Structure 1
Amino acid sequence: MRRVSKITAAGITAAALALTATACGESSTESNSSSTSSAGTGGKLKVGAAYDVGGRGDNSFNDSAARGLDKAKAELGAEVKELTAKHGETPADREARLVSLAEGGYNPVIAVGFAYKDSVDKVAAKFPKTTFGLVDSVSEAKNVDSIVFTEEQGSYLAGVAAALKSKDGKVGFIGGVDLPLIKKFAAGFEQGVKETKPSASVQIQYLTTGTDLSGFGSPDKGKHAAQGMLDKGIDVIYAAAGGSGAGAIEAVAAKKGTWAIGVDSDQAKDPALSKYAASILTSVVKNVDTGVFELSKSVKDGKPLVGVHTYSLAENGVSLTTTGDHLKDIQAQLDAAKKKIVDGQIRVKTTI
């Protein structure tokens, strides 16, 4: 089933898609074989997942995908295999991870993270009867379901919340790496802040640059960056930095009267961060789990989803969490902003 996106996703590709990071010491395996799942013809569904750095338990992006796998196990009876990238790996390592899942009969094989883009393109061509999922990037391969999100829209709402909750109009954004994908978060956040409170200031900082993707898995760097912002009087900090965001949240929680904004998962509910819940204003949730589950179900039903699908604000692909009721006093303003985005009255930027 070819699926057509309601919102164009091509803008997230750019140079970031060629970047890779993380490692498991595997090597690429050449294969011209094809793998098919017996799901859809009465067989057991086998779902393979290739996580980015941090994997299950990162309290953020990968965990959102993991929830989709858990749902597939619970509701579809799926057998699941999960592999995780490590720091310092080569493109061949990513390819080998995907090949091992496809050769093992897993279908779909879901690559979690834009850094898998080139690897998915190559491996999907070798296994035309296997359906692949690619999160946060777009592949032209006919047997790939590209699962992307309007991160900028959710981030705009976070900007509205930050502007309304900040005492002095000083807010900060911490991005894991200065990539086009993360700049979507920054652009939407800054726009939301400025259009809500024009006098407000937004400090934007990235933990690493270029091909150094350690900014997504270094809580110490996140904590240090947040502390620097707090020292300058910034009282609301939004971190779109994967596992590094946990460090930022920890720093904010240590200073009374300040707020942290989480990302990808409801970080106030995460067991590892629950002790900081009172300081987490909200989280910009990216429902990766929905995309993972829908793809898995489509394969089981014998009608695999392929093509590009953008999970937007209109279809709850991105949203703000309300854990702790910290947004209750500004919910009306947030609802109004959301309606304007959905109706097209507000066009959210994707670049700074």
Structure 2
Amino acid sequence: MKKLTALMLAAAMSMTALTACGSKTEESAAAPASTEAAKEEGGKAAEGGEAKETSGLKVAAIFGGAINDGNWNETQYNGLKSIEEAGAEIAYMENISDTDAAEAARTYASEGFNLVYLTTNSYQDYCTPVAKDFPDTTFVQINGTIVDGNFISVRIADEEQGFLQGVAAALLSETGKVGFVGGQEINPIKLGSSGFQQGVDYVNSTYGLNVEATRINTGSFTDVNQAKETAISIIEGGADVISPMANDASVGIMEAGEEKGV
């Protein structure tokens, strides 16, 4: 039971970090009360009766992009570091392709890691068979759809993030045109894109506006130039607010915004 409690604590701290998928702001520097409570709990565990259980945990994460992308992967990496601060041993691999994810997961499971985070749902089909071979390792699939024994899926509310982005974009726009640039066409990005449109529609119906939204998924989380070119094309079409949801490639979208003054 103590070990399970420690695992749940680790998961809770990681999930708190996951919700902050956008670029950093001053406001985000102030951690929510739940995060501080989790860290305090972790600190108590390190000092008290849970210390041995927490310090004995081995937690790994497999990232589809770079841990310094200022976006999706970096927030998850920060969650992993929080787990380390609570006393666990951590390890990670970054820039792992979908086809290499199974080998990475198998490596960590073979090395006795208790918990392995799979940080993009495109890993799911490749890694579910690995879980069956290592029943003592818990695999946590971010934005997955499968819950089977030691393979657990947790989902980020991407449609809600997209909705808030759409509302903000529509309210900020002066030209009446806004844009959304997504990355790989996986379900979370599709949900974020749909949520963005719903947010724009909500502003239009609530405030009697007629803001138009252009939404394009580039098909890549890593192609910075393609994302930048896509954003520029939307800007040249009249959009004055651009919203990214493309992991590493979001850098290109933000560069386009800076260069075009939107």
TM-score bracket, normalised by the shorter chain, equals 0.7 to 0.9
2:254 is aligned with 1:249: yes
List per-residue Cα deviations over 1:53-104 (Å, max 9, x = no partner).
x231122111111011110111x211111112445x63xx321110110111
Q: Distance in 2 between matches of 1:185 and 1:73?
A: 30
Q: Distance in 1 between matches of 2:138 and 2:184?
A: 30
From 127, 134, 147, the equivalent of 1:127 is 134
Q: CA deviation at 1:43?
A: 5.4
Q: CA deviation at 1:239?
A: 1.2
* Structure 1 partner of 2:81: 70
Change (3 A) 1:199 1:71: same
From 177, 195, 210, the equivalent of 1:199 is 210
Bigger proportion of residues as helix: 2
Query: Does the Cα contact within 8 Å between 1:125 and 1:141 map onto a contact in 2?
Result: no
2:186 is aligned with 1:188: no
Q: Distance in 2 between matches of 1:158 and 1:43?
A: 39
TM-score after normalising by structure 1: 0.56
Q: Distance in 1 between matches of 2:198 and 2:257?
A: 23
Identity %: 31
Q: CA deviation at 1:124?
A: 1.1
Q: CA deviation at 1:117?
A: 0.6
From 147, 156, 174, the equivalent of 2:154 is 147
* Structure 2 partner of 1:231: 236
Q: Distance in 1 between matches of 2:236 and 2:203?
A: 24
* Structure 1 partner of 2:221: 216
Q: Distance in 1 between matches of 2:127 and 2:120?
A: 11
Query: Does the Cα contact within 8 Å between 2:60 and 2:113 map onto a contact in 1?
Result: yes
Q: CA deviation at 1:126?
A: 0.8
2:177 is aligned with 1:166: no
Q: CA deviation at 1:42?
A: 6.8
Q: Distance in 2 between matches of 1:118 and 1:40?
A: 35
- Consecutive unaligned residues in structure 2, runs of 5 or more: 9-50
Change (3 A) 1:86 1:123: closer
SS at match of 2:216: strand
Query: Does the Cα contact within 8 Å between 1:111 and 1:132 map onto a contact in 2?
Result: yes
Change (3 A) 1:40 1:184: farther
Q: Write the mapping of 1:334-345 to structure 2, written as runs, cut at 5 A.
A: none
Aligned residue pair count: 210
Q: CA deviation at 1:153?
A: 1.1
* Structure 1 partner of 2:58: 46
TM-score after normalising by structure 2: 0.75
Q: Distance in 2 between matches of 1:137 and 1:85?
A: 19
Alpha carbon RMSD of aligned pairs, Å?
1.9
**Structure 2 counterpart of 1:194, one-letter code:** D
Q: Distance in 1 between matches of 2:56 and 2:239?
A: 52
List per-residue Cα deviations over 1:17-59 (Å, max 9, x = no partner).
xxxxxxxxxxxxxxxxxxxxxx97575221111111x231122
Change (3 A) 1:200 1:43: closer
Higher relative contact order (Cα pairs below 8 Å, separated by 6+ residues): 1
Q: Which runs of 4+ in 1 moved over 6 A?
A: none
Change (3 A) 1:43 1:234: closer
